[in-house]
Amino acid sequence: MNRQGAKDPTKILVMDARAGRPNGCGRIFLEPSTTWRFGALLGHPGSTVVLVLLAMLVTSCDGRAPDQAPITAQTTATLAQADRIDEARRLADSGLATRAEVAVDALLADRVAHPTVLHLKARLLADRGDSAGAIAWCDRAIAGAPQWTDPRVLLARCYLRLDRPAAAASVYADLDRLVPQSAWGPYGQGAIALMRNDVATARRWSDLALSREPDQADVLTLGAAVARAEKDPVREAAMLERLVVRSPRDGDALVRLGDLSAAGGRDHEARRWWTLAWEQCRHPAAGRHLDGK
């Protein structure tokens, strides 16, 4: 991580170490400012990490009071705001989408436009099928936290859902430049190649992604899909078995493992996989197999 910008007297190193996102994200950002008030090292009851370095903007860069300025992405949050952001994220992660939307909209109404909030808004829109609406919020989150990968990953997926593979490929290329050690860039390019039925290219990208992050769930899913396109059931099963170790509730993977076992004449093994798929997530295809339909 490059911290050289901290030497610039017009910038301030901002970090909130206690949650896993930008000031709430476990990442460090350098933000130009005009007038700053510096918080002390603060202890926060109930926090897993009590040392928080805060920098709070007193006057916006255009000279207007904060409540008069338009809502733009911010890179700092007060402790109270961070708690609200964490709660909104917890609700979203727990699948409580309606309550999460209420919490996120309340934060935005209070002009808390932290990148985590903007990304949550995009994520909630995408989850209910509004990929076009999510794109605008992804763009705002990226503007506020250009080094954070999550909004870019979501942005690329939204483009794919809207059948805009060229736009998605551009985002995945940006990810590869931003985090060259990550699998996201080659994963995305491989997924796009597979969508275009270019199996050989998809295999090359998939192999590169696997070399970078061999246990990442999305990467293993792509590896299995490429193997299926190559009509290589042994490799496909190997990828899926690694995937269900990583994601034991992946019903599609469990059902497919059952199908591969059945195709190979291993009926007892097939039933075991389908039973797992039914027990873990009530997968309808598993239910049909177990009922003999």
Over the stretch 12-45, which tens digit does the pLDDT of each residue have?
A: 222 232 233 343 333 323 232 222 222 222 233 3
For residue 2, what pLDDT band results from cuts at 50, 70 and 90? very low
| Whether 155 contacts 135, CB under 8 Å | yes
In a domain, 5, yes or no: no
Look at residues 67, 68, 86 and name the one whose alpha carbon lies nearest to residue 23: 86
Predicted local distance difference test score (pLDDT) of residue 292: 84
Question: Does a structural domain hold residue 74?
Answer: no
Give the total number of structural domains in the chain: 1
Residue 293 banded pLDDT, cuts 50, 70, 90 = low
Q: Does 25 map to a domain?
A: no
90 lies in some domain: yes
What is the pTM assigned to this prediction?
A: 0.71
Residue 273 located in a structural domain: no
The residue range of the domain holding 145 is 83-154
- Which has more pLDDT, 200 or 60? 200
Q: Which of 113, 39, 10 is nearest to 69 (CA)?
A: 113
Single-letter amino acid code for the residue at 116 = T
Whether 212 shows a pLDDT value over 90: the answer reads: yes
Instruction: Say what the pLDDT of residue 73 is.
Output: 62
Under the banding of pLDDT at 50, 70 and 90, the label for residue 216 is very high
> How far is CA 271 from each of CA 5, 246, 253, 258, rounded to the nearest angstrom?
58, 21, 14, 7
CA angle, 242 as apex, 236 and 247 as ends, to 5°? 115
pLDDT confidence tier of residue 274, bands split at 50, 70 and 90: very high
Let me know if residue 258 belongs to a domain.
Answer: no
State percent of the chain over pLDDT 70.
74
Q: Which residue stretches of the chain are H helix? A: 79-93, 97-109, 115-127, 131-144, 150-161, 165-178, 184-195, 199-212, 217-229, 233-246, 251-263, 267-281, 284-290
Whole-number pLDDT of residue 180: 96
What DSSP assignment string belongs to 130-192? -HHHHHHHHHHHHHH-TT-SHHHHHHHHHHHHTT-HHHHHHHHHHHHHH-TTSSHHHHHHHHH
What are φ and ψ of residue 35, in 5° steps? -120, 125
Res 63 pLDDT > 60: no
pLDDT of 248 strictly over 50: yes
Q: What is the pLDDT of residues 117-160, one digit of tens each?
A: 999 999 999 999 999 999 999 999 999 999 999 999 999 999 99
Asked, for residue 225, whether it belongs to a domain, the answer is no
Single-letter amino acid, residue 160: L
Quick one: pLDDT at residue 75? 59
- Answer whether residue 227 is part of any domain: no
- pLDDT value at position 156? 98
Q: What's residue 53's pLDDT? A: 26
For residue 74, the model assigns a pLDDT of 62
pLDDT at 116 over 90: yes
Residue carrying structure tokens 């798929």 = 277
The answer, yes or no, to whether residue 7 has pLDDT greater than 70, is: no
Mean pLDDT of the chain: 80
